[in-house]
Structure 1
């Protein structure tokens, strides 16, 4: 069976289409889908992930390897394969590069968080981490709000400038800035963290400086990873997650449960979309949306791609 490349999928299927597919999935009445927590196998700093799901007429599984040290080798952090099967017969239907699916669905989840939780007049976006997910959240941020200025920070400054150059070519109507993480936070209405850091990447600021901001946490997917500072986790007015699994998979949310009470009742993306929820008085609140992903999101994305272009 031919393996469909990441470049081909990204060339055919947009971030906006992926967001619409996930949103439609939750707006429709869902029956008979299975989405277990993904299997983590840790090998030092590397992680192998197995992510099966069943929905509609399909079964899918994503096999992924995450190697944080690849950034120092100028390689992608994530590699893997995504396979879609006929649910009844278990015959394979579609095989593709998992990086494209992960990029699209993760960006789409963050984008849906922005759509429902960020202030409507948000004009500035800050991206911490310039890898695959930094780019996907640039795409979803621009698809969700009328962003005029984007602030970029990466620990390796050259990579931030490379990201800026690529972004300027792709989105000439937007102004891009490479800046310090402190200035990024102060100037951004929406802040996205897309690193694999084990230490918080957000600075300590006066509490008033966080008001009116949405923090979208993306990178922390293991218990030993934490991108969002204790200050933000303890003082945020509202915390949301993409799926309940985030509460025990991510070091950010594990730490948040130690700092707060009743976080187990945090709304997930399903409830946000089905209730068409918008935070009240958003300009005076600091809000966190934590995303770790789940296998059902991968299945919804690859199903939409397969049915639109390959069936």
Structure 2
């Protein structure tokens, strides 16, 4: 069994490749897979996740732990391992760091939301939260749109400044700003929230100030978490999700249902990609894309890394 570090994955497999393989899966290879909803085990404020999936020749399982309080220790919120097996013999083939795989697949899901739902001329990005997912969604948004300027917000300004400095080295052609929350939202065409907040992080604005924006919510994966404000949920002309499990896993979608939002026209990523769906009049609409992830995306990502470099 090959054991691969997060650094190896980060150096050898790009966000664009991850977006492409997930999109390819929906276009050509989605017929036969098994991906039960992930098992959540709550331990105080922490969450243990077990995420199995079966597709093609492979069985994969991710065991992850999410500890929002790790921020105060200067540690990543998510830790875990990912194992890819031969589906027929159950032999383990490939073990890797779950942080790297999760960052790639979660960033790719948000990036596909941007690719299909954001207005074509979107050029200004706002990122709320500067952890691993903030970094991965910077990469995916830049892969999906011609982003010229990025506004960054984090409750700890030193972390926002560190993120800015790192981003400027990797993307010298893009202008980066550490901005106040209200300024970030007003200036941005695409707003991505990547926090583990229990309360909404988006400011109250006039209805006109939300027009033409895509809001991608990434951080809320438990029913008690809510990043998106009631105003955004109510004002959104369209709401879509990566997976229908978001309706009961994410506090954002649970809150949306509680305040009377109609989910009849909500599309998941399968429908968006299969139908090549692009909203009409995107320049005039507030659109929300909520991402919670699913084990099949971890398998697709791990399989692609394994087949490209280690098979």
Q: What range describes the TM-score normalised by the shorter chain of this pair?
A: over 0.9
- Where do 1:109-188 residues align within 5 Å? 109-188=109-188
Shift of 1:266: 1.3
Q: Secondary structure at the match of 1:222?
A: coil
- Matched residue, 2:288: 288
- Matched residue, 1:83: 83
Q: TM-score, normalised by structure 1?
A: 0.99
C-alpha offsets along residues 142-199 of structure 1, whole Å, 9 cap, x if unaligned?
1111101000000000000000000001100000000111000000000000000000
On the 8 A contact 1:247/1:264 being kept in 2, the answer is no
Q: Secondary structure at the match of 1:140?
A: helix
Give 4+ residue runs of structure 1 displaced > 3 Å after superposition.
Answer: none
1:271 equivalenced with 2:271 (yes/no): yes
On the 8 A contact 2:106/2:293 being kept in 1, the answer is yes
CA, structure 1 residues 58+149, in 2 after alignment: closer, same or farther (shift >3 Å)? same
On the 8 A contact 2:124/2:147 being kept in 1, the answer is yes
Shift of 1:90: 0.5
- Matched residue, 1:310: 310
On the 8 A contact 2:2/2:93 being kept in 1, the answer is no
CA, structure 1 residues 2+305, in 2 after alignment: closer, same or farther (shift >3 Å)? closer
CA distance in 1 between counterparts of 2:222 and 2:154 reads 21
- Where do 1:209-228 residues align within 5 Å? 209-228=209-228
Note the aligned Cα RMSD (angstroms). 0.8
Shift of 1:264: 5.3
- Matched residue, 2:18: 18
- Where do 1:55-74 residues align within 5 Å? 55-74=55-74
- Matched residue, 2:4: 4
C-alpha offsets along residues 234-287 of structure 1, whole Å, 9 cap, x if unaligned?
110000000010111000000011123431551000000000000000000000
Q: How many aligned residue pairs are there?
A: 311
CA, structure 1 residues 290+182, in 2 after alignment: closer, same or farther (shift >3 Å)? same
On the 8 A contact 2:234/2:261 being kept in 1, the answer is no
Q: Secondary structure at the match of 1:27?
A: helix
Shift of 1:31: 2.4
CA distance in 2 between counterparts of 1:98 and 1:126 reads 26
CA distance in 2 between counterparts of 1:307 and 1:32 reads 19
CA distance in 1 between counterparts of 2:305 and 2:23 reads 15
Provide structure 1 residue ranges, at least 5 long, that are not aligned to the other structure: none
